[in-house]
Structure 1
């Protein structure tokens, strides 16, 4: 006898999990709470609800219908937040364009996603100009003005964003439809080949929002979140829905601050003047801030910051905590919507000293509810959760992309064996914490043994002279590969001969039993800058090409 399916009364309402249902609560609980853009614009949730309806009406007036795709090219702003809701709530698909790709890659994503309308910030028009005549499906382009002055360009604009919004009807009856309808599409900045499109349904985004709320707001930890927090994203809104956080904080009706183009002085000004208490970013952003002279003049003791996208080096964590920033890690990827784990300190760890707690903050973290994480060996079998045995990290959750857009072969690779393959190598310890030790493609293979590039970068980051570090393997006739470490020194140390001193740090870790002898890098190379991807991660593909 099988399971018993519930009977549904003919008049019962099934309540589909749609993005519009994330929006209603804020108007009930906090209609007068503020949403702020830089130091230029502030309005209430009541205004926000009205503008979402006006944007939907304006797009409808331009011919946008269910199933169409609306692309957005903008900095982090209140306008982007309005698009997060209005476009998918209409039943259209929101394409958040990766503006840090090359123009040719941007062209590929626009044509591959079959965009119908593009909304573009005036400062980003130069990205469209060289590809304008190659765009295949776009019917109308809307200008987002940062100033009253229109850009000098051959591109024909249908209208501008504020005219579209302000001239439209103030109410919109957002319809019900299948919760599995596609809501969003965006593209990864893959290291090989064309960018890959990932996509998420309304149901997945709603489930992820509640997963975020449970993972960040429910558990006693060093950084619990509530509706009283003031939220400011420092992860681009084109990248995995700014980690889904705008949906969460809009549902909570919290105060939100959007910084536009990332500038250290503006970011720190907003943190202080708007009393921001929660942000999230990649390590590059925190590195930029802790090295800004302005940081010494501000109080950041109430600021909680989640690091993701790349491993959190211990040295950077120490520097941020020295500036009173409550810093810790989380983990996910474009394909996972993204949150999988958070590095919360368990209650019994609260009595530990700061040095020991930093070890936990820098781990990849504990799975949030409805996330299954496993470590598998090359045969696909699980390995022991002993904090030692490593393998590939695989995951299951209700909010993982079901494939790559129009790419069935790569989709099957992603989901081989019914688990989403992250491409990360890691281990799980006896407390249940995941620790990513490397990307599968970034592991340094020397003499038949694996060396973690992330571990080498972490050791280097602890030296007081080191600003940034990147470890790679270079070809070696005898050993296959040997590790080298690229170092960017802090300004006050530049020009000093520190090679022997920094190499000694690796030897010390070997002497303490923390690093095998074959993991000691052959060379320390001092550079002025290290190549990064469009979202601020170390670009190991480019770096390996430079030093092959």
Structure 2
């Protein structure tokens, strides 16, 4: 017997229509060099329609890929809806990728048009001759920019200016492609993940769940996490659906500008990677901001050190630790305290909040032994690879014949190593490739890093395994000191701090002080750079 419900297509047109019909007065604010740019959902909706008309006039048809190369701004927000709602595919290009990876992505996706922020034009100029599929460049800026090699090109405002403010949106299949994003390509070429209208719709509802980030009409949301990667964690889709005020940082993401923006726009929910919040916390020791409107910040992309969570809480800021991947749209789990944990000690609560937490409704998980493939016990000790599935989890990569190894038996093999406690709360201990295997035993680089970053003199720390003649690998701690402690701290002092917290064989064999931890294009620690740099480092005997 079948259900008798309406066959209602789950597409982004629903979120768009809700935004302009139910929340026309709500604001969209973008930080600029001068005064913030601000307008309403009603005005945004008219410009989205103008943009769709301009794209159709430029020859964009169903399924065509239209790329963006830009910061988090109101124009990018317009592109996020005009392109998929007209039946084309939004392809967000990561502005921090290496040139050869960018060329590979544009050519594999066969992008037809690229929208590029004016200050990023020089980056694309060098690569334009390698983009045979691109027919037009649209330059986003407050005035036309000299575009050199980007030909033919047109200014964004000129492109949409004469177009009607309404558009005959087509009926869409909810399973049709709406957007695509490539992984950050830390090993090999980046892989394309194609999101459907249905997957984005359901993911947006996940962002609004009380057990998730709980985004609502009451919020003023600041997505610092880039729109050019992993859908800005779904906040720009969910914001339109639920009617949140949206605040965009543009290219101004230094801690001072972020702090002032959060204060002036009464931000209630912000989202970004740990490095953003480490920078802000450091500034809060010297500057005062009125964050009385802020209910929480969502942090993901890489593990948030417990010391960061504790430090922000002392400033009255609640950090929600989340986990996800490009392949999971990306929100998959979030560490919210359970009802019975509210009675626990502060120390136990911080420990729980530093985990990756509970998968949100819509996502299923299992943690399996990396050799036998069997599920590990939920004892909070046994390591295994985290695997997930759900309606917003990818089942294959775009044009990739080797996807099968990553997507086994209907599950995404994440490459993350986790333990699970008796309540099903996840704690990621490492990436499979970053675990240090010493004398046949595993050492978690992430756990060591979290402990190191609890040292009051340490700003950042990264642990990598380097070759050892007896033990195969041993951990090396690469430490960035806070500026006031540079040249005033010894490696032995750092190790002494660690000793009470870890087994003796977990203790790094050496500590090296570095100026900065190298980062990937999405702000994660780039451990392969440090592994290469210190592969010949002589460890103390």
**Normalized against structure 1, the TM-score is what?**
0.94
Q: Contact 2:378–2:421 (CA<8 Å) still a contact in 1?
A: yes
| DSSP-derived class of the 1:441 partner | coil
- Distance, in Å, in 2 between the alignment partners of 1:124 and 1:298 is 31
Counterpart for residue 85 of structure 2:
89
Counterpart for residue 228 of structure 2:
238
Q: Contact 1:387–1:428 (CA<8 Å) still a contact in 2?
A: yes
- Distance, in Å, in 1 between the alignment partners of 2:153 and 2:187 is 36
- Distance, in Å, in 1 between the alignment partners of 2:431 and 2:227 is 24
- Distance, in Å, in 1 between the alignment partners of 2:24 and 2:233 is 24
1:406-426 deviations in whole A, cap 9, x for unaligned?
Answer: 1121x1111112211000000
Q: Contact 2:144–2:155 (CA<8 Å) still a contact in 1?
A: no
- Distance, in Å, in 1 between the alignment partners of 2:436 and 2:177 is 39
| DSSP-derived class of the 1:50 partner | helix
Q: Contact 2:215–2:242 (CA<8 Å) still a contact in 1?
A: no
- Distance, in Å, in 2 between the alignment partners of 1:36 and 1:345 is 32
Q: What are the equivalent positions in structure 2 for 1:309-324 lying under 5 Å apart?
A: 309-324=301-316
Shift of residue 149, structure 1, vs aligned partner: 5.5
| DSSP-derived class of the 1:292 partner | helix
Counterpart for residue 408 of structure 1:
401
Q: Contact 1:37–1:258 (CA<8 Å) still a contact in 2?
A: yes
Counterpart for residue 299 of structure 1:
290
Shift of residue 452, structure 1, vs aligned partner: 0.1
Counterpart for residue 520 of structure 1:
507
Q: What are the equivalent positions in structure 2 for 1:346-357 lying under 5 Å apart?
A: 346-357=338-349
Q: Contact 2:436–2:445 (CA<8 Å) still a contact in 1?
A: yes
| DSSP-derived class of the 1:532 partner | coil
- 1:423 paired to 2:421: no
Shift of residue 165, structure 1, vs aligned partner: 2.2
Counterpart for residue 444 of structure 1:
436
**Normalized against structure 2, the TM-score is what?**
0.95
1:236-266 deviations in whole A, cap 9, x for unaligned?
Answer: 1011100111111111111111110123222
- Distance, in Å, in 1 between the alignment partners of 2:38 and 2:293 is 22
- Number of residue pairs matched? 529
Shift of residue 6, structure 1, vs aligned partner: 4.8
Counterpart for residue 209 of structure 1:
204
- Distance, in Å, in 2 between the alignment partners of 1:269 and 1:335 is 33
Shift of residue 187, structure 1, vs aligned partner: 1.0
Q: Contact 2:69–2:115 (CA<8 Å) still a contact in 1?
A: yes
Q: What are the equivalent positions in structure 2 for 1:104-503 lying under 5 Å apart?
A: 104-145=100-141, 147-148=142-143, 150-151=145-146, 153-214=148-209, 218-219=210-211, 224-261=214-251, 262-292=253-283, 296-303=287-294, 304-377=296-369, 378-409=371-402, 411-503=403-495
Q: Contact 1:301–1:325 (CA<8 Å) still a contact in 2?
A: no
- Distance, in Å, in 2 between the alignment partners of 1:54 and 1:388 is 56
| DSSP-derived class of the 1:208 partner | helix
| DSSP-derived class of the 1:348 partner | helix
- 1:64 paired to 2:60: yes
| DSSP-derived class of the 1:471 partner | strand
Counterpart for residue 25 of structure 1:
18
- Distance, in Å, in 2 between the alignment partners of 1:253 and 1:152 is 37
Shift of residue 431, structure 1, vs aligned partner: 2.0
- Distance, in Å, in 2 between the alignment partners of 1:395 and 1:386 is 19
Shift of residue 158, structure 1, vs aligned partner: 3.1
Q: Contact 1:17–1:203 (CA<8 Å) still a contact in 2?
A: yes
- Distance, in Å, in 2 between the alignment partners of 1:36 and 1:165 is 20
| DSSP-derived class of the 2:190 partner | coil
Q: CA RMSD in A?
A: 1.6
Structure 2: state its 5+ residue gaps: 536-541
Shift of residue 402, structure 1, vs aligned partner: 2.1
Counterpart for residue 512 of structure 1:
none
Q: Contact 2:385–2:413 (CA<8 Å) still a contact in 1?
A: yes
Which has the higher mean CA deviation after the structures are superposed, 422-431 or 354-363? 354-363
Shift of residue 173, structure 1, vs aligned partner: 1.5
- Distance, in Å, in 1 between the alignment partners of 2:7 and 2:411 is 29
Which has the higher mean CA deviation after the structures are superposed, 441-450 or 189-198? 189-198
- Distance, in Å, in 1 between the alignment partners of 2:284 and 2:217 is 32
Q: Contact 2:216–2:243 (CA<8 Å) still a contact in 1?
A: no
- Distance, in Å, in 1 between the alignment partners of 2:124 and 2:518 is 24
- Distance, in Å, in 1 between the alignment partners of 2:312 and 2:146 is 40
Shift of residue 273, structure 1, vs aligned partner: 0.5
Q: Contact 1:143–1:157 (CA<8 Å) still a contact in 2?
A: no
Shift of residue 224, structure 1, vs aligned partner: 4.8
1:481-534 deviations in whole A, cap 9, x for unaligned?
Answer: 00110110001111113322210122111xxxxx22210110011111111101
- Distance, in Å, in 2 between the alignment partners of 1:331 and 1:7 is 36
Structure 1: state its 5+ residue gaps: 510-514
| DSSP-derived class of the 1:388 partner | coil
